[in-house]
Amino acid sequence: MSPETLVIEVDPLNPQREVISRAAEIIRAGGLVAFPTETVYGLGADALNSRAVKKIFVAKGRPLDNPIIVHIAESGQLKVLADSVSAEAVALAERFWPGPLTLVLKKSARVPDTVTAGQHTVAVRMPGSNVALALIRASGVPIAAPSANLSQRPSGTTGRHVFQDLAGRIDLVLDAGPVEIGVESTVLDISTQPPTILRPGAVTVEDLESILGKVALGGHAELLKRSPGTRHRHYSPKAKVTLVAGKSQPEVARLLEQRAAAGRKVGVMTLRPDLYRGKQGVVVAAMSQDLREYARQMFASLRELDEAGVDEIIVEEVEEKGIGVAIMDRLRRAASGK
């Protein structure tokens, strides 16, 4: 499709105007541009151009029944995409945009079925990254963008990860170095009552309840029905992922010894790297106690351990508080292969 993938470095805070215009031209011409958002890198196409959006599915190997988030740069663009904009939607947008919150609303006729995978709702967010906002403005259209990784793989959090997965499949990577947050946006369905979190992220239940009152957390069956993306394999490194309850260093040590005895190379993502460094056949990824920092490191660590050629990755669970809820959601999916 795109034999040559160009990589251009861009300043994350003050994106160079000529770089942005070049990227916007590609979007307007129906091409694919990967760009940084504050959560993870996105793989963008003109959201109103069905043929361009189809290329995203091909480039990622994404199942056609998994709808894509549309990114906007002005709240006014919401009116073009949504059938109607409730007072609730306005309040959420005012409080959390630009930022890591995606709203699912009834869609307007303008949004192609390719974007929504045939659903009657559309997912919209205004990303909090200057590069993303500049690109959307310069393109003059909303930009449909899933995470910029091959389907099933951990999301890309640096330009290098994106290039590793998508070189030869897309036109351009705007490389602004590592992202700020590291896990994908919170997806909140406000098309039904009560509002339901379909995917946890950096905007937490508590944050949302401060505006909305009660918010539901999507249960498993409901997620399958309402957020098709959740039924597919996700966030998977090549190695098998095994979760171990937090603060159980003896259990981690026991597993590492057992695997080593079986001649397997094992990675460990741990808050206590000092305990495991220097052990035969063990590759250590030191994770931060600070869960915001942990989130920034998580996908990169899964990729690095893969690159080190480990057969299995043992991960200590983290406390499910604040962004820890989103971290555990991704780790569980990585471990379950779902």
Residues that bind ligand TXA (CB under 6 A): 37, 39-40, 42, 66-69, 102, 104, 116, 119, 121-123, 127, 145-147, 184-185, 187, 198-199, 226-230
Residue 157: what residue type?
T
Give the nearer residue to ligand TXA in terms of CB position, either 190 or 287: 190
Beta-carbon contacts of 36 under 8 Å, excluding residues fewer than 6 positions away, are 10, 12, 42, 129, 131, 132, 159, 174, 175, 176, 177, 179
Would you give the end-to-end CA distance of the chain in angstroms?
A: 29
CB of 188 to ligand TXA, least distance (A): 10
CB of 218 to ligand TXA, least distance (A): 10
Q: Among 23, 40, 122, which residue's Cα sits nearest to residue 80?
A: 122
8 half-sphere exposure, CB direction, 13 A CA radius? 19
**Between residue 72 and residue 111, which ones bind Mg ion under the rule CB under 5 A?**
none
Burial of 225 per CB tally in 10 Å (0-12, 13-18, 19+) = exposed
| Residue 89 interface partner, choices ligand TXA, Mg ion, none, CB cut-off 5-8 Å depending on type | none
Beta-carbon contacts of 208 under 8 Å, excluding residues fewer than 6 positions away, are 92, 186, 188, 195, 197, 215
| Residue 227 interface partner, choices ligand TXA, Mg ion, none, CB cut-off 5-8 Å depending on type | ligand TXA
**Between residue 188 and residue 217, which ones bind Mg ion under the rule CB under 5 A?**
none
Give the nearer residue to ligand TXA in terms of CB position, either 101 or 283: 101
Give the nearer residue to ligand TXA in terms of CB position, either 158 or 230: 230
133, 115 contact by CB (below 8 A): no
Cross-sheet strand order for the sheet of 282-286: 240-244, 312-316, 266-270, 282-286
Give the nearer residue to ligand TXA in terms of CB position, either 229 or 267: 229
**Between residue 110 and residue 149, which ones bind Mg ion under the rule CB under 5 A?**
147
| Residue 158 interface partner, choices Mg ion, ligand TXA, none, CB cut-off 5-8 Å depending on type | none
| Residue 122 interface partner, choices Mg ion, ligand TXA, none, CB cut-off 5-8 Å depending on type | ligand TXA
| Residue 40 interface partner, choices Mg ion, ligand TXA, none, CB cut-off 5-8 Å depending on type | ligand TXA
Q: Which residues pair with 312 in a beta bridge?
A: 240, 266
| Residue 102 interface partner, choices Mg ion, ligand TXA, none, CB cut-off 5-8 Å depending on type | ligand TXA
Mode of pairing for the β-strands spanning 41-46 and 33-36: antiparallel
297 is a contact residue toward Mg ion (CB under 5 A)? no
Count of residues engaged in binding Mg ion, rule: CB under 5 A: 1
CB of 154 to ligand TXA, least distance (A): 11
CB of 99 to ligand TXA, least distance (A): 10
| Residue 77 interface partner, choices Mg ion, ligand TXA, none, CB cut-off 5-8 Å depending on type | none
**How far apart are alpha carbons 2 and 8 in whole angstroms?**
16
102: part of which helix (H) or strand (E)?
Answer: strand 101-106
CB of 297 to ligand TXA, least distance (A): 17
37 is a contact residue toward Mg ion (CB under 5 A)? no
User: Measured in whole angstroms, how far is the alpha carbon of residue 149 from the centre of its chain?
Assistant: 9
